């Protein structure tokens, strides 16, 4: 992927990437959104009034720094979840607590896509309302950086990044339970230790781990549920082996070759018994380390929020190919991988964010242009 760096008025501009196939599809599909809105007006929410979430490298360095400053601000404010999670020390930790508590319900289930949409939007609101952030949640277009993520604007360790790689650690890689060889282990990319550069070099991870991790030296949590106080550094292993499954062709095929939400979500999350990780897993394991490599605690790495904004973007692009039908389409059961066995979820099921936000019907989380009783009004650029 080609990019250049421009300068204007003495301020560094964002790198400019050539549009990939997914970018082009999204832009071309806006005419479908316009037609749908003409037939289905959403109150004050229009294409003109909708918030536009942008890709990380399309922001200026100053805009990126404003975002990371807001994340650091959220990490400095007292937690609301301490009664159930004594390890929670900040408002940032509150979001990790909710994810840990709701992981068995909101992954591999009906709620995976709509719940994470609600989750990312609420986090965006916290940054804006509690920390004075005036922008919106950026996303991570995986394909832009897949060939060299360590040297990307996202992870190069500069002040305009989301922080750098971890220091070298002696570990073999990340095991993938249930996957056949050779797909059952993501080889180490040479990191795995503490992040020492960028805005989060001094960050403390307070909660977890919960899932088994292969990196040595990470202390166990004092509680079985992972919610005890366990301060440690942020660790990463920025891994191009994992990023290899997030190139634009994988995302484009995901959107265009899966005509129902069951297969769209199944392929996105990964089919581990067949050795297929999916872009969801590929993005998480591109970051790796602790807590990003922990299925439950992964929101504890600030990069999580850009990854899941991209998950939401890809779902949004898939939805707008047939918006009339796909904003009403859910699938799967109410439990992760149907364990324990449960009934199929419906649009009238409730989904919420614990102490952070009330339960709402899933149908309120399906439409980015007028959903959540009109509070959702955004698209992706």
Answer whether residue 2 is part of any domain.
no
Q: Which residues pair with 166 in a beta bridge?
A: 195
Answer whether residue 261 is part of any domain.
yes
3-state helix, strand and coil shares in percent for the chain, rounded to the nearest 5:
40, 10, 50
Residue percentage of the chain with pLDDT more than 90:
87
- What does the pLDDT read at residue 14? 54
How far, in Å, CA of 30 to CA of 141, rounded? 18
CA-nearest of 103, 275, 110, 76 to 180 is: 275
224 close to 215: Cβ distance less than 8 angstroms: no
Tally: H helices and E strands in the chain: 12, 14
Question: Which is higher by pLDDT, 187 or 13?
Answer: 187
344 close to 309: Cβ distance less than 8 angstroms: no
319 is written with which tokens?
């939805």
Angle of CA points 264, 269, 273, to nearest 5°: 110
How far, in Å, CA of 96 to CA of 225, rounded? 12
Average pLDDT over residues 2-13: 38
Answer whether residue 287 is part of any domain.
yes
Answer whether residue 6 is part of any domain.
no
Residues 304-363 pLDDT 10s: 999 999 999 999 999 999 999 999 999 999 999 999 999 999 999 999 999 999 999 999
E-assigned strands of 210-317?
232-233
Answer whether residue 8 is part of any domain.
no
Question: Which is higher by pLDDT, 6 or 229?
Answer: 229
Name, in order, each residue with C-beta under 8 angstroms of 38's C-beta and a sequence gap of 6 or more: none
Average pLDDT over residues 118-125: 98
CA-nearest of 122, 152, 120 to 139 is: 120
Answer whether residue 64 is part of any domain.
yes
- What does the pLDDT read at residue 177? 73
Domain that holds residue 64: 18-380
Average pLDDT over residues 69-80: 98
Residue 297 has pLDDT above 70, yes or no: yes
Residues 185-215 pLDDT 10s: 888 899 999 999 999 999 999 999 998 777 8
How far, in Å, CA of 279 to CA of 142, rounded? 8
Answer whether residue 12 is part of any domain.
no
Residue 32 has pLDDT above 60, yes or no: yes
Answer whether residue 352 is part of any domain.
yes
**What CATH number does the domain containing 85 carry?**
1.10.1280.10
111 close to 351: Cβ distance less than 8 angstroms: yes
Total number of domains in the chain? 1
> How sure is the predictor about 183, in pLDDT bands with cuts at 50, 70 and 90?
confident
């Amino acid at each position: 992927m080609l990019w250049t760096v421009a300068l204007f008025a003495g301020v560094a501009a964002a790198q400019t990437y050539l549009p990939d196939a997914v970018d082009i599809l999204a832009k071309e599909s806006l005419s479908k959104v316009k037609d749908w809105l003409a037939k289905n007006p959403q109150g004050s929410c229009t294409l003109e009034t909708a918030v536009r979430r942008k890709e990380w490298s399309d922001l200026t360095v100053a805009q990126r720094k404003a975002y990371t400053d807001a994340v650091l601000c959220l990490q400095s404010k007292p937690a609301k979840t301490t009664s159930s999670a004594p390890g929670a020390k900040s408002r940032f930790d509150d979001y990790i607590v909710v994810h840990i508590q709701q992981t068995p319900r909101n992954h591999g289930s009906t709620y995976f896509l709509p719940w994470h949409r609600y989750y990312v939007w609420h986090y965006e609101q916290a940054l804006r309302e509690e920390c004075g952030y005036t922008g919106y949640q950026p996303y991570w277009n995986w394909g832009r950086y897949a060939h060299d993520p360590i040297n990307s604007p996202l992870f190069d360790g500069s002040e305009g990044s989301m922080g750098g790689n971890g220091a070298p650690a002696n570990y073999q890689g990340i095991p993938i339970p249930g996957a056949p060889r050779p797909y059952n282990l993501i080889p180490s990319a040479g990191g795995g230790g503490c992040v020492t550069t960028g805005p989060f070099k001094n960050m403390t991870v307070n909660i977890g781990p919960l899932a088994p991790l292969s990196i040595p030296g990470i202390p166990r949590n004092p509680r079985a549920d992972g919610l005890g106080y366990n301060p440690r550094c942020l660790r990463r292993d920025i891994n191009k082996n994992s990023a290899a499954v997030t190139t634009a062709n994988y995302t484009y095929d995901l959107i265009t070759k899966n005509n129902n939400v069951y297969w769209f979500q199944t392929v996105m999350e990964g089919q581990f018994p067949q050795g297929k990780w999916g872009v969801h897993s590929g993005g998480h394991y591109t970051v790796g380390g602790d807590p990003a490599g922990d299925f439950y605690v992964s929101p504890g790495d600030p990069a999580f929020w850009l990854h899941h904004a991209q998950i939401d973007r890809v779902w949004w692009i898939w939805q707008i190919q047939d918006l009339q039908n796909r904003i009403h389409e859910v699938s799967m059961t109410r439990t992760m991988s149907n364990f324990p066995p449960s009934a199929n979820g419906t649009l009238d099921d409730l989904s919420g964010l614990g102490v952070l936000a009330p339960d709402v019907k899933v149908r309120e989380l399906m439409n980015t242009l007028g959903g959540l009783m009109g509070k959702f009004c955004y698209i992706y650029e």
